[in-house]
Amino acid sequence: MELLDKGLKRLLTPIQVKIFMVALIATILIFFLGMVWPIPQPQVTSLGSQYDNTTRTIQNINSTSTGGVPPALIIWGIIVANNIKLAILDVIPVFGAFVFSISMFSTGRLLQAAVLSGSLSATNTISIGATLFLFPHTILEFSAYALAFSSSVVFIWSLRDKGSRQQALINYFVAIAATVFLVIIAGAFEASLFMSPILSVFLWFPVIYVAFWLRKKYHGNLADAKLQDETLK
Protein backbone atom coordinates (compact mmCIF):
# COMPACT_ATOMS: atom_id res chain seq x y z
CA MET A 1 0.00 0.00 0.00
CA GLU A 2 2.89 2.34 0.80
CA LEU A 3 4.40 1.65 -2.63
CA LEU A 4 1.05 2.49 -4.25
CA ASP A 5 0.83 5.78 -2.33
CA LYS A 6 4.34 6.75 -3.41
CA GLY A 7 3.52 5.94 -7.03
CA LEU A 8 0.31 7.97 -6.94
CA LYS A 9 2.14 10.96 -5.44
CA ARG A 10 4.49 10.87 -8.42
CA LEU A 11 1.58 10.62 -10.86
CA LEU A 12 -0.95 12.97 -9.28
CA THR A 13 1.05 16.19 -9.52
CA PRO A 14 -0.69 19.37 -10.71
CA ILE A 15 1.32 19.60 -13.96
CA GLN A 16 0.86 15.89 -14.77
CA VAL A 17 -2.90 16.02 -14.13
CA LYS A 18 -3.39 19.23 -16.16
CA ILE A 19 -1.46 17.95 -19.17
CA PHE A 20 -3.21 14.58 -18.89
CA MET A 21 -6.64 16.24 -19.03
CA VAL A 22 -5.62 18.30 -22.06
CA ALA A 23 -4.24 15.15 -23.74
CA LEU A 24 -7.43 13.18 -22.96
CA ILE A 25 -9.64 15.88 -24.49
CA ALA A 26 -7.29 16.02 -27.51
CA THR A 27 -7.51 12.22 -27.83
CA ILE A 28 -11.31 12.33 -28.04
CA LEU A 29 -11.34 15.29 -30.44
CA ILE A 30 -8.77 13.71 -32.80
CA PHE A 31 -10.71 10.45 -32.72
CA PHE A 32 -13.95 12.19 -33.74
CA LEU A 33 -12.10 14.28 -36.31
CA GLY A 34 -11.02 11.04 -37.97
CA MET A 35 -14.65 9.96 -38.02
CA VAL A 36 -15.81 13.00 -39.99
CA TRP A 37 -12.79 13.76 -42.20
CA PRO A 38 -13.71 12.86 -45.82
CA ILE A 39 -12.26 9.57 -47.07
CA PRO A 40 -11.70 8.83 -50.80
CA GLN A 41 -13.73 5.86 -52.06
CA PRO A 42 -10.69 3.58 -52.69
CA GLN A 43 -9.66 4.04 -49.04
CA VAL A 44 -13.22 3.39 -47.87
CA THR A 45 -13.07 0.00 -49.59
CA SER A 46 -9.61 -0.78 -48.23
CA LEU A 47 -10.33 0.28 -44.65
CA GLY A 48 -13.73 -1.42 -44.73
CA SER A 49 -12.02 -4.69 -45.72
CA GLN A 50 -9.53 -4.20 -42.88
CA TYR A 51 -12.39 -3.79 -40.41
CA ASP A 52 -14.14 -6.88 -41.81
CA ASN A 53 -10.96 -8.97 -41.47
CA THR A 54 -10.53 -7.93 -37.83
CA THR A 55 -14.17 -8.71 -37.06
CA ARG A 56 -13.88 -12.08 -38.82
CA THR A 57 -10.79 -12.98 -36.79
CA ILE A 58 -12.62 -12.32 -33.53
CA GLN A 59 -15.66 -14.28 -34.69
CA ASN A 60 -13.44 -17.22 -35.62
CA ILE A 61 -11.88 -17.21 -32.15
CA ASN A 62 -15.35 -17.30 -30.59
CA SER A 63 -16.61 -20.08 -32.87
CA THR A 64 -13.63 -22.46 -33.13
CA SER A 65 -11.94 -24.71 -30.58
CA THR A 66 -9.20 -22.96 -28.62
CA GLY A 67 -7.78 -25.98 -26.80
CA GLY A 68 -9.62 -25.28 -23.58
CA VAL A 69 -8.48 -21.65 -23.43
CA PRO A 70 -11.45 -19.28 -22.98
CA PRO A 71 -11.99 -17.27 -26.20
CA ALA A 72 -12.29 -14.05 -24.15
CA LEU A 73 -8.78 -14.64 -22.80
CA ILE A 74 -7.35 -14.95 -26.32
CA ILE A 75 -9.22 -11.82 -27.45
CA TRP A 76 -7.90 -10.00 -24.36
CA GLY A 77 -4.34 -11.02 -25.26
CA ILE A 78 -4.71 -9.72 -28.84
CA ILE A 79 -6.20 -6.41 -27.65
CA VAL A 80 -3.59 -5.86 -24.94
CA ALA A 81 -0.64 -6.70 -27.21
CA ASN A 82 -1.82 -4.17 -29.80
CA ASN A 83 -2.65 -1.44 -27.27
CA ILE A 84 0.59 -1.80 -25.30
CA LYS A 85 2.52 -1.39 -28.54
CA LEU A 86 0.71 1.89 -29.23
CA ALA A 87 1.04 3.11 -25.64
CA ILE A 88 4.80 2.44 -25.53
CA LEU A 89 5.23 4.36 -28.79
CA ASP A 90 3.11 7.22 -27.39
CA VAL A 91 5.36 7.53 -24.35
CA ILE A 92 8.50 8.19 -26.43
CA PRO A 93 9.31 11.92 -26.13
CA VAL A 94 8.54 14.00 -29.26
CA PHE A 95 8.06 10.94 -31.52
CA GLY A 96 5.17 9.81 -29.34
CA ALA A 97 3.20 12.96 -30.17
CA PHE A 98 3.06 11.95 -33.85
CA VAL A 99 2.13 8.33 -33.06
CA PHE A 100 -0.48 9.53 -30.57
CA SER A 101 -2.18 11.81 -33.11
CA ILE A 102 -1.97 9.42 -36.06
CA SER A 103 -3.26 6.39 -34.12
CA MET A 104 -6.32 8.26 -32.78
CA PHE A 105 -7.10 9.79 -36.17
CA SER A 106 -6.66 6.42 -37.93
CA THR A 107 -9.01 4.69 -35.47
CA GLY A 108 -11.70 7.27 -36.25
CA ARG A 109 -11.15 6.85 -40.00
CA LEU A 110 -11.41 3.07 -39.70
CA LEU A 111 -14.80 3.31 -38.01
CA GLN A 112 -15.98 5.90 -40.54
CA ALA A 113 -14.96 3.57 -43.39
CA ALA A 114 -16.73 0.65 -41.71
CA VAL A 115 -19.97 2.67 -41.67
CA LEU A 116 -19.59 3.96 -45.25
CA SER A 117 -18.80 0.49 -46.60
CA GLY A 118 -21.78 -1.04 -44.82
CA SER A 119 -19.72 -3.15 -42.42
CA LEU A 120 -21.32 -1.28 -39.52
CA SER A 121 -25.00 -0.37 -39.50
CA ALA A 122 -25.47 3.22 -38.39
CA THR A 123 -27.14 6.40 -39.57
CA ASN A 124 -23.85 8.29 -39.17
CA THR A 125 -20.31 7.75 -37.91
CA ILE A 126 -20.69 10.09 -34.92
CA SER A 127 -23.38 7.85 -33.44
CA ILE A 128 -20.99 4.87 -33.58
CA GLY A 129 -18.28 6.88 -31.85
CA ALA A 130 -20.70 8.06 -29.16
CA THR A 131 -21.92 4.49 -28.60
CA LEU A 132 -18.37 3.36 -27.82
CA PHE A 133 -18.37 5.68 -24.80
CA LEU A 134 -21.22 3.69 -23.29
CA PHE A 135 -18.55 1.12 -22.43
CA PRO A 136 -15.80 1.90 -19.89
CA HIS A 137 -12.99 0.29 -21.88
CA THR A 138 -13.11 3.21 -24.33
CA ILE A 139 -12.36 5.91 -21.76
CA LEU A 140 -9.78 3.66 -20.04
CA GLU A 141 -7.98 3.02 -23.33
CA PHE A 142 -8.03 6.70 -24.27
CA SER A 143 -6.82 7.56 -20.76
CA ALA A 144 -3.89 5.17 -21.16
CA TYR A 145 -2.81 6.87 -24.38
CA ALA A 146 -3.30 10.33 -22.83
CA LEU A 147 -1.22 9.31 -19.80
CA ALA A 148 1.52 7.96 -22.05
CA PHE A 149 1.66 11.18 -24.05
CA SER A 150 1.36 13.53 -21.06
CA SER A 151 4.08 11.72 -19.12
CA SER A 152 6.52 12.22 -22.01
CA VAL A 153 5.68 15.95 -22.05
CA VAL A 154 6.18 16.26 -18.28
CA PHE A 155 9.44 14.33 -18.52
CA ILE A 156 10.86 16.68 -21.16
CA TRP A 157 9.67 19.71 -19.18
CA SER A 158 11.29 18.39 -15.98
CA LEU A 159 14.68 17.95 -17.66
CA ARG A 160 15.15 21.73 -17.56
CA ASP A 161 16.06 21.46 -13.88
CA LYS A 162 19.33 19.54 -13.62
CA GLY A 163 18.83 18.92 -9.91
CA SER A 164 15.56 17.02 -10.40
CA ARG A 165 16.43 14.91 -13.44
CA GLN A 166 16.72 11.70 -11.44
CA GLN A 167 13.29 12.25 -9.90
CA ALA A 168 11.93 13.11 -13.35
CA LEU A 169 13.22 9.81 -14.72
CA ILE A 170 11.67 7.86 -11.84
CA ASN A 171 8.33 9.66 -12.35
CA TYR A 172 8.55 8.87 -16.07
CA PHE A 173 8.94 5.13 -15.47
CA VAL A 174 6.15 5.16 -12.87
CA ALA A 175 3.90 6.74 -15.52
CA ILE A 176 4.91 4.07 -18.06
CA ALA A 177 4.04 1.32 -15.55
CA ALA A 178 0.67 2.99 -14.86
CA THR A 179 0.03 3.23 -18.62
CA VAL A 180 0.68 -0.49 -19.13
CA PHE A 181 -1.58 -1.30 -16.16
CA LEU A 182 -4.38 0.83 -17.63
CA VAL A 183 -4.00 -0.86 -21.02
CA ILE A 184 -4.24 -4.32 -19.42
CA ILE A 185 -7.40 -3.38 -17.50
CA ALA A 186 -8.93 -1.69 -20.56
CA GLY A 187 -8.21 -4.83 -22.60
CA ALA A 188 -9.94 -7.03 -20.02
CA PHE A 189 -12.98 -4.74 -20.01
CA GLU A 190 -13.09 -4.72 -23.82
CA ALA A 191 -12.84 -8.52 -23.93
CA SER A 192 -15.83 -8.71 -21.55
CA LEU A 193 -17.84 -6.91 -24.24
CA PHE A 194 -17.63 -10.04 -26.41
CA MET A 195 -18.99 -12.17 -23.54
CA SER A 196 -21.76 -9.84 -22.38
CA PRO A 197 -22.33 -6.20 -23.38
CA ILE A 198 -24.48 -5.75 -20.25
CA LEU A 199 -21.59 -6.91 -18.05
CA SER A 200 -19.30 -4.44 -19.80
CA VAL A 201 -21.69 -1.55 -19.06
CA PHE A 202 -21.87 -2.52 -15.37
CA LEU A 203 -18.07 -2.26 -15.20
CA TRP A 204 -18.62 1.51 -15.12
CA PHE A 205 -19.25 1.19 -11.36
CA PRO A 206 -15.67 0.25 -10.37
CA VAL A 207 -14.30 2.77 -12.89
CA ILE A 208 -16.34 5.61 -11.37
CA TYR A 209 -15.40 4.52 -7.84
CA VAL A 210 -11.67 4.53 -8.66
CA ALA A 211 -11.99 7.90 -10.45
CA PHE A 212 -13.47 9.51 -7.32
CA TRP A 213 -10.85 7.77 -5.15
CA LEU A 214 -8.05 9.18 -7.33
CA ARG A 215 -9.65 12.63 -7.19
CA LYS A 216 -9.65 12.41 -3.38
CA LYS A 217 -6.00 11.31 -3.43
CA TYR A 218 -5.07 14.21 -5.70
CA HIS A 219 -6.67 16.82 -3.47
CA GLY A 220 -5.10 15.13 -0.45
CA ASN A 221 -1.68 15.43 -2.07
CA LEU A 222 -2.31 19.13 -2.76
CA ALA A 223 -3.32 19.73 0.86
CA ASP A 224 -0.22 17.90 2.13
CA ALA A 225 2.05 19.90 -0.17
CA LYS A 226 0.44 23.18 0.97
CA LEU A 227 0.84 22.23 4.64
CA GLN A 228 4.49 21.31 4.06
CA ASP A 229 5.16 24.67 2.39
CA GLU A 230 3.53 26.54 5.29
CA THR A 231 5.61 24.53 7.79
CA LEU A 232 8.85 25.40 5.98
CA LYS A 233 7.93 29.08 6.04
Report residues of the chain scoring pLDDT below 70: 1-5, 62-69, 122-123, 162-163, 224-233
**Which distant-in-sequence residues (6+ apart) come within 8 Å of 93 by Cβ?**
152, 153, 155, 156
Between the CA atoms of 11, 13, 19 and 22, what dihedral angle is there, to the nearest 10 degrees?
90
Predicted confidence at residue 21, as pLDDT, reads: 93
3-state secondary structure the chain: CHHHHHHHHHHCCHHHHHHHHHHHHHHHHHHHHHHHCCCCHHHHHHHHHHHHHHHHHHHHHHHCCCCCCCHHHHHHHHHHHHHHHHHHHHCCCCHHHHHHHHHHHHHHHHHHHHHHCCCCCCCCHHHHHHHHCCCHHHHHHHHHHHHHHHHHHHHHHHCCCHHHHHHHHHHHHHHHHHHHHHHHHHHHHHHHHHHCHHHHHHCHHHHHHHHHHHHHHHHHHHHHHHHHHHHHC
Distance CA 61, CA 70 (A): 9
Predicted confidence at residue 68, as pLDDT, reads: 64
**Which distant-in-sequence residues (6+ apart) come within 8 Å of 133 by Cβ?**
139
- Domain definitions of the chain by residue range: 2-232
pTM: 0.86
CA-closest candidate to residue 145, choices 53, 29, 7, 47:
29
What tens digit of pLDDT does each residue of 72-98 get? 777 788 888 888 888 888 888 878 888
Predicted confidence at residue 116, as pLDDT, reads: 84
Predicted confidence at residue 232, as pLDDT, reads: 54
